[in-house]
DNA sequence: GCTCCGATTATCT
DNA sequence: GATAATCGGAGCG
């Protein structure tokens, strides 16, 4: 069985099964590689937190396509965030890549992330991860079985997985669909939306 | 470690 | 016109 078939069979499962299995996987873009430590599940049409909740739009089109492609969106006027599309085609589920540990290409990642004062901060947060890996508009829709931007699944499921509310959403607490590895310094700190200054 | 706050614009209503 | 799956810096402890 080929590596790309392995990836596809893993990602075509329901998103709540896929998300924890992506912990420990390695996202590689050229000479920079990142081991994922924190992700979030977004369940398409059934999930008010998902960009696909209100149906297809030009922005979210990639999510309705086949598993294994990258859905990249722009937010807060300046940041890019990346998701791995999963589930069968037509089901708009995806896993947001929230944080990871840079395991190769530190020099390149540091040059892109000049605000990071320690290596821990290189990919701690979804927009930081994208900046460290040079993921932006041009990578939206990219097939992750195709070099130079690839996803290499972990050989085995993680030994332990923690869950919690998703970050930055209104009504985040109702679905504990954030998954992260215990005792990893690169996992981002949880900031509930209710304490963000969104209400004023 | 924490809290507050401004930056900046594509996207959708 | 309002909002957003965020970040970095300042100030505090």
pLDDT digits over A119-134, tens only? 999 999 999 999 999 9
Output the pLDDT for position A195.
64
The gap between A156 CA and C10 C1' (Å) is 44
Average pLDDT for A38-42: 98
Output the pLDDT for position A121.
98
The β-bridge relationship of strands A149-152 and A26-29 is: antiparallel
Q: Give nearest nucleotide to A79 (CA–C1').
A: C6
Please answer whether residues A70 and A140 qualify as being in contact, where contact means their C-beta atoms are separated by less than 8 angstroms: yes
Strand partners of residue A40: A96, A178
Which of A 27-86 have CB under 7 A of nucleic chain C? 40, 42, 49-52, 71, 73, 75-79, 81, 83
Q: What is the pTM of this model?
A: 0.96
A59 touches strand B (CB under 7 A): yes
A96 touches strand C (CB under 7 A): yes
Output the pLDDT for position A173.
73
Write a three-state SS string for A121-142: HCCECHHHHHHHCCCCHHHCCC
Average pLDDT for A70-94: 98
């Amino acid at each position: 069985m080929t590596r790309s078939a392995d990836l596809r069979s893993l990602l075509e499962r329901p998103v709540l099964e896929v998300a924890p299995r992506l912990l420990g996987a390695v996202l590689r873009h050229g000479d920079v590689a990142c081991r994922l430590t924190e992700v979030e599940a977004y369940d398409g049409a059934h999930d008010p937190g998902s960009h696909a909740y209100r149906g297809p739009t030009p922005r979210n089109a990639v999510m309705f396509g086949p598993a294994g492609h990258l859905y990249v969106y722009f937010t807060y006027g300046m940041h890019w965030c990346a998701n791995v599309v999963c589930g069968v085609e037509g089901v708009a589920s995806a896993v947001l890549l929230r944080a990871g540990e840079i395991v190769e290409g530190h020099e390149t990642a540091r040059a892109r992330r000049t605000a990071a004062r320690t290596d821990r901060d290189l990919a701690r947060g979804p927009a930081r991860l994208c900046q460290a890996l040079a993921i932006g508009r041009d990578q939206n829709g990219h097939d992750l079985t195709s070099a130079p931007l690839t996803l290499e699944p972990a050989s085995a499921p993680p030994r332990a997985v923690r869950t919690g509310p998703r970050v930055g959403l209104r009504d985040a607490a109702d679905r504990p669909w954030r998954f992260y590895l215990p005792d990893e310094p690169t996992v981002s700190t949880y900031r509930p939306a209710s304490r963000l200054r969104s209400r004023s």
